[in-house]
Structure 1
Amino acid sequence: MQWKKYWMWLISLFYVLVPTLSLAQETVTAAPLSPEAIKWGFIAAAIAVGASSLGAGIAVALVGSSAMGALSEKPELAGRALIFLGLAEGIAIYGLIVAIMILGKI
C-alpha cells in the first residue's frame, strides 16, 4: 500500500513538469548583435584563452621545477607532483571553457 502514495506523487509531478518543459522548448529569437558587440566578444574570448594559457605556463614552470627538486630528494613524491602539475594545467582548460561560453553567446 505504501507504493500508492509514491505513485500519486510521481503522477502529480508529471502533470506539473510537462507544461513547463513544453514552454522551455519554444525557441526565443534574440535581437541580433551589433558588429561592435561581436568584435568585443571575439576579443574577450581571445583574452580569456591567452591569459589563462599564460598563467598555466607560468604555473607549470614553477610547479614543474619545484617537483623536480622534490623528486631528486624523495622519489616517492612522484604521484603528488603529477597531481599538482595537472592542477596547474587545468587553468588553461578553464580559460578555454570560458572562451567557448563567450563564443556561444555571439
Structure 2
Amino acid sequence: MSKSVLVAGSLFVSAVLVAVLASVLLWQPQAFAQGEVVEIAERVMDPSVQRWGFVAAALATTVGALGAAYAVATVGAASVGALAEKPELFGKVIILVGLAEGIAIYGLIVSVLILNKI
C-alpha cells in the first residue's frame, strides 16, 4: 500500500471515531448539563428536534471539510506539478487552492445558520 492510502485511511478512521464520540455525547444530553437547564430546554423545544438540528449541523461541517480536503488534495497535487514546470504560475495556483478551501468555510457557515435556528 502506498503512504497516501494509509494516511487517507487513518484520517477517515479518525473522522469516524470523532463522529461516534460526538453522537454518544449528543444522545446523552444530561451528561454535561444540570437538571434545571435541561428542563428549561425541554419547555422551549422538543429535544428530538434539537438533536436532529445538531446532527444536521455536524453533517454540514463534516461533509464540507471532507469535500474541501479532497479538493485541496487534488488541486494541490496538480498545482505542485504545474509549479515545477512554470514557477510564474504561483499566484494563479494559490487562488485555485484558496477556492478549494472555501468549500470548508461554506460548510461552517451552513452549520452556524442551522445552529442559530435551533
Assess same fold via TM > 0.5: yes
**Counterparts of 1:48 and 1:97, CA distance in 2:** 9
Alignment of 1:50 onto 2:62: yes
Unaligned runs of 5+ in 1: 1-30
**Counterparts of 2:72 and 2:45, CA distance in 1:** 38
> What stretches of structure 1 move > 3 A for 4+ residues in a row?
none
- Residues 38-62 of structure 1, C-alpha deviation per residue, up to 9 Å, x if partnerless? 0000000000000000000000000
Larger Rg: 1
Alignment of 1:96 onto 2:108: yes
**Counterparts of 2:59 and 2:104, CA distance in 1:** 12
Q: Could you say which residue in structure 1 is the equivalent of 2:95?
A: 83
**Counterparts of 2:58 and 2:70, CA distance in 1:** 18
Provide the secondary structure at the position in 1 that maps to 2:45.
coil
Q: Could you say which residue in structure 1 is the equivalent of 2:80?
A: 68
**Counterparts of 1:102 and 1:33, CA distance in 2:** 15
**Counterparts of 1:39 and 1:81, CA distance in 2:** 41
Q: Structure 1: which amino acid aligns with 2:65?
A: S
Aligned residues: 76
**Counterparts of 1:94 and 1:51, CA distance in 2:** 10
- TM-score by length of structure 1 reads 0.70
Unaligned runs of 5+ in 2: 1-42
Alignment of 1:40 onto 2:52: yes
Q: Which has the higher contact order (CA 8 A, sep 6+)?
A: 1
- Residues 15-44 of structure 1, C-alpha deviation per residue, up to 9 Å, x if partnerless? xxxxxxxxxxxxxxxx93211100000000
Provide the secondary structure at the position in 1 that maps to 2:44.
coil
Q: Could you say which residue in structure 1 is the equivalent of 2:35?
A: none
